[in-house]
Amino acid sequence: MSTHASTDAQHGHAAHDPHLAHHFEDRAQQDEAHSLGLWVFLATEIMFFGGLFLAFTVYHVLFPDAFGLASSRLSVDWGVINTIVLLFSSFTMAMAVHSAQKGHQKRLIGYMVVTVICAFGFMGIKSIEWSEKFEHHLVPGPNFEFVLDDPHLAKSGHALTAEQMESALARDPNVERHAQMFFVIYFCLTGLHGVHVLIGIGVIIWMIIRAGRGEFSSRWSTPIELTGLYWHLVDVIWIYLFPLIYLIHRH
């Protein structure tokens, strides 16, 4: 009773091509459908992040001083390192796809392992950054505390001059309160991006397991290619996030 149409059909086709689902005519059609599917999914993802990017842009226009000052509390060093880590992981992922297409099983697994390590590295650095924000009371909520003459700034040599503080307050008397908006959207954006990284880690580990079972060959590497596309999207979103939230005031 539990067998249903698709499993029946899959067994029927197993004789000639185990990777061809029953409802496709041939492998070319299936591969094209899968890759177009992922591109359409990427369009959806961009619109999903788009709402937050729009919110960021609107509030940045409304409160340029607050967003500039708040942005300067982020650690550009960690941001740069993370960008490099993620870009490198995108490179290793591209190499993994290449190896899969060439049929190099060991290299495929090796590159994907490096990609996962980079992804964990990225999340590790992200959590260091987030916990710094937590210690500095920059997490929005009842404990949020943003003052212009913050002692942490003095320690790191980034303290504002009295004139800078005065002019910021003159332009926007609520600058300290409006800075919270920056951090609300900062946590939403980096949080949502982080969720995507975590999903990516899960998918790549799954692919490593499947590659370990010898499922992929030079004739069949579609799942690896799709994983690669997804991972590049995660990377591209970060490429937009990084200048937007870290470098915005440094011009």
Partner 1 sequence: MSSIDAPNPYQTQTRPQSQEAVFPLVNYLNKTGGWKSWLLTADHKRIAVLYLITTTLSFLIGGLAAALVRLELLTPQGDLLSADGYNKAFSAHGIVMVFMFLVPAVPAVLGNFLVPLMLGAKDLAFPKINLLSWYLYMIGSALCIYAIIAGGVDTGWTFYTPYSTTTNTNVISAAVGVFIIGFSSIFTGFNFIITVHKMRAPGLTWFRLPLFIWSIYATSLIMILGTPVIGITVLMVAVERLIHLGVFDPAFGGDPLLFQHLFWFYSHPAVYIMILPGFGIISELIPCFARRNIFGYSFIAMSSLAIAMVGFFVWGHHLFVSGQSPYAGVVFSALSFVIGIPTAIKVFNWTATLYKGSISFETPMLFALFFIGLFLVGGMTGLFLAAVGLDVHVHDTYFVVAHFHYVMVGGMMLAYMGGVHFWFPKISGRMYPEFLGRISAITIFIGFNVTFFPQFVMGYMGMPRQYHEYVSEYQVYHVLSTAGASVLGLGFMMPIVYLTYAWFFGPVAGPNPYRATGLEWQTSSPPVTENFLEIPVVSVGPYEYSQFKEDDEVVHSR
Which residues of this protein are in contact with partner 1, per CB under 8 A?
A: 1-6, 9, 21-25, 29, 32-33, 36-37, 40-41, 43-45, 47-52, 54-55, 58-59, 62-63, 66, 140-141, 144, 174, 177-178, 180-181, 184-185, 188
- Identify which of residues 8 and 87 has a Cβ nearer to partner 1 in the complex: 8
- Identify which of residues 6 and 218 has a Cβ nearer to partner 1 in the complex: 6
State how far the alpha carbon of 75 is from the alpha carbons of 5, 125, 129, 230, in Å: 55, 11, 7, 27
Contact 108, 216 (CB under 8 A): yes
Q: How far is the CB of 55 from partner 1 (least distance, A)?
A: 6
- Identify which of residues 43 and 162 has a Cβ nearer to partner 1 in the complex: 43
Q: How far is the CB of 10 from partner 1 (least distance, A)?
A: 10
Q: How far is the CB of 60 from partner 1 (least distance, A)?
A: 12
Q: How far apart are the C-alpha atoms of 159 and 152, rounded to whole Å? A: 8
Q: How far is the CB of 77 from partner 1 (least distance, A)?
A: 28
- Identify which of residues 31 and 96 has a Cβ nearer to partner 1 in the complex: 31
Q: How far apart are the C-alpha atoms of 111 and 134, rounded to whole Å? A: 34
- Identify which of residues 93 and 138 has a Cβ nearer to partner 1 in the complex: 138
Q: How far is the CB of 190 from partner 1 (least distance, A)?
A: 14
Point out which residues pair with 220 in neighbouring strands: 217
What does the DSSP 8-state code read for residue 217?
Answer: B
Burial of 77 (0-12, 13-18, 19+ CB in 10 A): exposed
Q: How far is the CB of 181 from partner 1 (least distance, A)?
A: 5
Q: How far apart are the C-alpha atoms of 51 and 148, rounded to whole Å? A: 29
Q: Which residue has the tokens 């070319």?
A: 28
Q: How far apart are the C-alpha atoms of 81 and 56, rounded to whole Å? A: 23
Q: How far apart are the C-alpha atoms of 236 and 193, rounded to whole Å? A: 11
